[in-house]
Structure 1
Amino acid sequence: MVHDILKPHWSRFLGPGAPAPRTYKYEPHSRPIFSSPYGPFPPIPSDLNIHDLCFPPNNPLPPDYDLFINAVTDERVTLHQFYARVCALARVLRYDGPNPLGLGKSPASDREDGEIIGFFSRNHIHYPMLAHACFRAELVFGGISPASTPYELWWVLRKMQITSFVCHEALLPVLREAMKLGRGEADKSWSLLLVLDPSKIIVLSDNSNLDSVSGYPTVESLVRHGSSLPEVPRKLLGGDRMAYLFQSSGTSGLPKAMMISHKNGIHSGLQGMITATQGARFMGVEPLQTPQCVLGVVPAYHSYGMILWILRINLMKLTNVMLPKWDLELALKSIQDYKITMLPLVPPIVRQLAQSPLTAKYDLSSVLQAGSGAAYLPPDVAYELAKKLPQGAAAPIPSGYGLSEAASIASPAAPGIFGLEAAPPGTIGYLLPGMEGRVVDPETLQDVQRGQKGELWARGHVVTPGYFKDPKATAEIFAEPGWLRTGDLVMRDEKDRIHYLDRLKEMIKVKGLQVAATEVEDSLLEHPEGLVRDACVAGVDNGRGDGSLFVRAWVVLSDEGRKRGDKAVAEMLDEWVKSRLSRHKWLTGGVEAVDSIPRTPSGKMLRREMRDRYHARIKMEGRSKL
């Protein structure tokens, strides 16, 4: 029997020979290349389009239900409404259709030029509809952070070669200021010019009755127009063709643009379906039959949000309660009112929920599952939040692992499935379905033995083809064909679990020895008297000019810490670190109390910003003494 990934049954997510979750026992080994306990992906047609995976052409829609809910207004979009709106908008966006906007054909790869539409919006219940309409119209889109300044937006518009644009009405002033910066002829740092056509700007308005805003057509006006057009049956193209662009986090300079193909997106979406299906089989229940209600706080433009809100639509019954922006009390009220069962989170939100007294005001008993992604999750908060949820401290919040370049690489698995042991906080678990890994010495590029530190390399269908129109940057992340250099320092243990240690570029070199900032940060957060709510550690100039650094910590004090005072806490933390860690990891650069630690919207700590602020201050103090 030929495997059919489009058949309407959960078995489509399991390929021929998929391991049985109760009887198959994964055997760890010491060979350099190790693979996922879940086995390979099921067979996929080489030209499959993401939209056709989610809505197979010959399958009827399941019974209707609420797919997206606006947590602020309670506005709802059902599954059937979503599909009808996607089809209507796609008719308008097709380059070979009526095409009222005059859109061109999109490029299949970065070797071509063509139409690329930008999305510039906070989380919105119609954002996923825009994405699926683009898939269906074979129109490449690029997701852009709504927190961008005009300069950052201008930079990303050029990086992604955005030719048309969907902008939320509240962000139009940012777009206007970005457009004033010109085409970029004078910018010597990057050769690509601004190519956005002002006549191809569309506004995403919160008022569905408006046909235009500031002279631009609204998304709703295009949906209404598309609803009156006839459907033209066609075979959608996908596979290795470019589907969308991701904006990188920008933690190491200005953002890059990551290419994601339909094949990448399909396999990223499938990983969660495979793990959910196998997890249910392990528990002895029918897979994917229990409806779930999900809290929508992860940004849709981010790789994590793309999986949650776009790549798994109609693969299982999910109602997504979307928050336009993070609001702690609104989130807690939404959990209580909508009986939310799943909390996909990022580390800053995990920490805030764990430490806020507001959680005691709301009923969180509906929550069946919580998880964290997008950045490193310190073990202390993984346990702290779990205590407040029905799962309890015995089931700490698990932390998955992925990158913009490969959205999902590893995650903790249910203890016992495939004979696997639990992956405690501090680890990122086991390789996800279809993935292979290696741990490599970043200097010699030779594989290291289990138990030794090295850079994680990953291979699988979720890995990006590279950076858009940036062959130099692409070459840097692929030392060998197909193997993505993640830039993360890890250790693979004897069970083939992966322990995250730090970003390689954020390793602190002290007298030739490497210090992982996260190890020191975890020690500070684990002080027995709970003096610290948040911590950032980085290497600062030791003033000797020998290339060695001092280890410095910036901490946000807890209520107990504030009672003790900055000076006393600094002394206590210094002694604590000395009692726990090797000499080269001691806080020779000092401890400073601050109000907050800067982070990206996805939760990545901006250590470089703290370090640069410190160096700038020291430089100014030095000048003032002259």
Structure 2
Amino acid sequence: MARLAVLRSAIFNGVRRQELASSWRQQTKAMKSTTAARPERILEPPYPEKMQIPEATITEFVWQDVGQWLSKPAVTCGSSGRSYSHGETRALCRRFANALLGAVGLRQGDVLGLLLPNMPEFVIAIHGAIEAGIIVTFANPLYTPDEIGRQFMNAGVRASVTIPQLLPVMAQVGRSLPDYKWTIAVGGELQADGTVLSFQRLLSESVDADIPKLSPGDVALLPYSSGTTGLPKGVKLSHRNLVANLQQISHPDILLHVPTTETTQEVALSVLPYFHIYGFNGILNPTILYGMHIVSIPKFTPEDYIGCVIKFKPTILFVVPSLMLFLASHPSVTREHLSSIKHVVCGAAPATKNLIDKFKSKVDRDINIRQGYGMTESAPVTIFPSKHAPLSKMGSCGQIVPETQAKVVDLTTGQSLGPHESGELLIRGPQVMLGYLNNDEATQETIDPDGWLHTGDVAYYDEDEYFYIVDRTKELIKVKGNQVSPTELESILAGEVPRAFVVRHPDYQSLTEADVQEYVEPKVASYKKLAGGVKFIDVIPRNPAGKVLRQQLKVLGDKSPIQ
């Protein structure tokens, strides 16, 4: 079936997203005072016992049991084969912390920028810096110098870690940063101008420095997120935020992995970027915490990924819907290749039941597939299914994780809603960010005075309090006063992530706009039809986390005629 996506941002009748969000907030505040009060429905997690969140730094928490599996492999590059054991990784993190405070000359509270693909050294760089009390911000290596410069300027980056191929980019960026000191190259050597340091040399020459005593409330990480509106903003995540979320997803009813012992070790395969909060605190940190072996590659190619599946025989896969579709559909991926897989965790975007069924059909045996929900501002997980979730809830993103509250509120009145009523999802818990860096206005717009994080996502929950994500508040389309959900149209057009932009399957090159329109029209009300037409393109643009880059689709739509 052709894959289709509705171009949400292009059909807002000329109203900018930020204006929509601001208008909605103002309208909500006004109507709250005039609407008859309904009993507030605040949902609690389905776990009756109280969970204690440790008062620890992320360094202390992640490495707390490393002594039990020092010789076990920790992180491996599936492309080069380069690998470090848990003991080696822990020791090198401490060495890098000493080097940053010593030779590099950074101090507690300074900001280090990471411009790295997935590689074993990413772990050493990020955890070494955090252990030294240095705040880390990471960026996509594919960003332009302007994009990196904007983020690093806003964050106040004083040094960075990158790869030799990106040294020219960091040289350009570094010149624009007022207090920038060093670029540290993984695999690079010192340059004549003395602005570049060798990562390996720093590790080999490191001497003990005065590692500061950190507080769980200190900012540890500064990822960037657009939030509900506007340009990317620095999300201040404390040690406590990160630790709380790891503890929450460690509940016995959620965990499924086999404990690491002398004879057993789970192997996780993931190409999802560590420079995304899901990749860092949803994948990388849990695998280290539990002594697993994580294998990754710097860049996805079908050949490298399939090679890793064959060579390392992973027991756990971390995927996004597009990767699950690849595994379910690609003829080079056989049932035998997937024979070692016991668990699949899907994130970043919703996977439909049709897609999950298709993957299960390929595997042809009992396998646990779960998908959760979260965002950068919540470190990231807020909703995730327990291991007891029934098959009937397969399309859901699960239930609230421990020590978290949620409610769904009406998009117009702000009143809390009951089961099967769609509205904006609000979250409250210890994993919710401290706020946006240097942006009190955006912080107050996102976290209300009662501590509720306004996610900007439209959701509903069923009678068993399993949640389903419907859409984004900022992407709802209004047609003659009626609200149209692009995702609803997407779910009709295809079983996965439907689009108003179509990539023709090789076997369906004759597919026309009329075919698509005729398929949709009987299934929707008149105001939900694809009045904007259908455009055929070669590939759906996505970011490294697998999300559709709708702004790029908008540009494509503006430039190309409807076929």
Please indicate the TM-score interval, normalised by the length of the shorter structure.
Answer: 0.7 to 0.9
Does residue 588 in structure 1 map to residue 531 in structure 2? yes
The 1:482–1:195 alpha-carbon spacing in structure 2 relative to 1, beyond 3 Å, is farther
Deviation readout 1:522-547 (Å, 9 max, x if unpaired): 11114xxxxxx8642xxxxxxxxxxx
- The answer for the alignment partner of 1:507 in structure 2 is 476
- The answer for the alignment partner of 1:17 in structure 2 is none
Deviation of the 1:212 alpha carbon: 6.3
Does residue 147 in structure 1 map to residue 142 in structure 2? yes
Tell me, in whole angstroms, the C-alpha distance in 1 between the residues paired with 2:253 and 2:504: 39
Aligned partner letter, 2:183: I
Deviation of the 1:42 alpha carbon: 3.1
Tell me, in whole angstroms, the C-alpha distance in 1 between the residues paired with 2:339 and 2:296: 20
The correspondence for 1:52, drawn from 60, 63, 67, is 60
- The answer for the alignment partner of 1:125 in structure 2 is 120
Task: Assess if the C-alpha contact under 8 Å between 2:287 and 2:293 holds in 1.
Answer: no
Does residue 168 in structure 1 map to residue 140 in structure 2? no
- The answer for the alignment partner of 2:241 in structure 1 is 264
Report the number of matched residues: 521
Tell me, in whole angstroms, the C-alpha distance in 2 between the residues paired with 1:88 and 1:557: 52
Does residue 244 in structure 1 map to residue 216 in structure 2? no
Superposed CA RMSD:
2.7
Residues 455-474 of structure 1 correspond to what in structure 2 (within 5 A)? 455-474=424-443
Tell me, in whole angstroms, the C-alpha distance in 2 between the residues paired with 1:217 and 1:390: 51
Does residue 405 in structure 1 map to residue 377 in structure 2? yes
Aligned partner letter, 1:257: G
The 1:308–1:172 alpha-carbon spacing in structure 2 relative to 1, beyond 3 Å, is same
Task: Assess if the C-alpha contact under 8 Å between 1:455 and 1:487 holds in 2.
Answer: yes
The 1:459–1:383 alpha-carbon spacing in structure 2 relative to 1, beyond 3 Å, is same
Aligned partner letter, 2:552: E
The correspondence for 1:203, drawn from 185, 188, 201, is 185
The correspondence for 1:355, drawn from 329, 332, 340, is 329
Tell me, in whole angstroms, the C-alpha distance in 2 between the residues paired with 1:374 and 1:65: 29
Aligned partner letter, 2:186: L
Deviation of the 1:89 alpha carbon: 1.5
- The answer for the alignment partner of 2:13 in structure 1 is none
Tell me, in whole angstroms, the C-alpha distance in 2 between the residues paired with 1:177 and 1:251: 31
Aligned partner letter, 2:61: L
Deviation readout 1:462-484 (Å, 9 max, x if unpaired): 11111111111111111333110
Aligned residue for 2:117, secondary structure, equals coil
| Between 601-610 and 499-508, the greater mean CA deviation after superposition | 601-610
- The answer for the alignment partner of 1:12 in structure 2 is none
Report the identity percentage: 26
- The answer for the alignment partner of 1:489 in structure 2 is 458
The correspondence for 1:312, drawn from 286, 308, 311, is 286
- The answer for the alignment partner of 2:421 in structure 1 is 452
Specify every segment of 5 or more residues in structure 1 that has no aligned partner in the other structure, as ranges.
1-29, 107-114, 183-193, 281-285, 527-532, 537-552, 622-626
The 1:340–1:56 alpha-carbon spacing in structure 2 relative to 1, beyond 3 Å, is closer
Task: Assess if the C-alpha contact under 8 Å between 2:79 and 2:297 holds in 1.
Answer: yes
Aligned partner letter, 2:332: L
Task: Assess if the C-alpha contact under 8 Å between 1:456 and 1:489 holds in 2.
Answer: yes
Does residue 71 in structure 1 map to residue 88 in structure 2? no
Deviation of the 1:235 alpha carbon: 7.2
Tell me, in whole angstroms, the C-alpha distance in 2 between the residues paired with 1:276 and 1:330: 34
Tell me, in whole angstroms, the C-alpha distance in 2 between the residues paired with 1:343 and 1:410: 19
Residues 79-478 of structure 1 correspond to what in structure 2 (within 5 A)? 79-94=86-101, 99-106=102-109, 115-179=110-174, 182=176, 194-197=177-180, 199-205=181-187, 210=189, 215=194, 216-226=196-206, 229-230=207-208, 236-248=213-225, 253-275=230-252, 279=256, 290-312=264-286, 314-360=288-334, 363-389=337-363, 391=365, 397-406=369-378, 407-414=380-387, 417=388, 421-422=390-391, 424-478=393-447
The 1:423–1:304 alpha-carbon spacing in structure 2 relative to 1, beyond 3 Å, is farther
Deviation of the 1:319 alpha carbon: 0.6
Aligned partner letter, 1:560: D
Task: Assess if the C-alpha contact under 8 Å between 1:49 and 1:236 holds in 2.
Answer: no
Deviation readout 1:61-96 (Å, 9 max, x if unpaired): 4352111111112111001111111121112223xx
Tell me, in whole angstroms, the C-alpha distance in 2 between the residues paired with 1:614 and 1:143: 31
**TM-score under structure 2 normalisation?**
0.86
Deviation of the 1:576 alpha carbon: 2.1
| Between 578-587 and 321-330, the greater mean CA deviation after superposition | 578-587
Tell me, in whole angstroms, the C-alpha distance in 2 between the residues paired with 1:42 and 1:396: 25
Tell me, in whole angstroms, the C-alpha distance in 1 between the residues paired with 2:408 and 2:136: 34
Aligned partner letter, 2:94: C
Tell me, in whole angstroms, the C-alpha distance in 1 between the residues paired with 2:63 and 2:77: 23
Q: Which is bigger in relative contact order (C-alpha 8 A, separation at least 6)?
A: 2
Aligned residue for 1:500, secondary structure, equals strand
Tell me, in whole angstroms, the C-alpha distance in 1 between the residues paired with 2:161 and 2:227: 22
Tell me, in whole angstroms, the C-alpha distance in 2 between the residues paired with 1:121 and 1:50: 21
Task: Assess if the C-alpha contact under 8 Å between 2:487 and 2:498 holds in 1.
Answer: no
Aligned residue for 2:157, secondary structure, equals coil
Tell me, in whole angstroms, the C-alpha distance in 2 between the residues paired with 1:231 and 1:60: 23
Deviation readout 1:187-246 (Å, 9 max, x if unpaired): xxxxxxx3341x3221122x7xx56698411111111122xx3476x7731311100111
Task: Assess if the C-alpha contact under 8 Å between 1:116 and 1:161 holds in 2.
Answer: yes
Tell me, in whole angstroms, the C-alpha distance in 1 between the residues paired with 2:544 and 2:227: 11
Aligned partner letter, 1:429: G
Deviation of the 1:249 alpha carbon: 5.8
| Between 241-250 and 251-260, the greater mean CA deviation after superposition | 251-260
Aligned partner letter, 1:167: T
Deviation readout 1:238-259 (Å, 9 max, x if unpaired): 3111001112268955322111
| Between 145-154 and 609-618, the greater mean CA deviation after superposition | 609-618
- The answer for the alignment partner of 2:35 in structure 1 is none
**TM-score under structure 1 normalisation?**
0.77
Aligned residue for 1:163, secondary structure, equals strand
The 1:222–1:172 alpha-carbon spacing in structure 2 relative to 1, beyond 3 Å, is same
- The answer for the alignment partner of 1:519 in structure 2 is 488
Specify every segment of 5 or more residues in structure 2 that has no aligned partner in the other structure, as ranges.
1-38
Task: Assess if the C-alpha contact under 8 Å between 1:246 and 1:259 holds in 2.
Answer: yes
Tell me, in whole angstroms, the C-alpha distance in 1 between the residues paired with 2:445 and 2:222: 19
Deviation of the 1:311 alpha carbon: 2.5
Tell me, in whole angstroms, the C-alpha distance in 1 between the residues paired with 2:49 and 2:179: 41
Tell me, in whole angstroms, the C-alpha distance in 2 between the residues paired with 1:615 and 1:39: 53
Aligned residue for 1:105, secondary structure, equals coil
The 1:248–1:39 alpha-carbon spacing in structure 2 relative to 1, beyond 3 Å, is farther
Aligned residue for 1:153, secondary structure, equals helix
The 1:317–1:45 alpha-carbon spacing in structure 2 relative to 1, beyond 3 Å, is closer
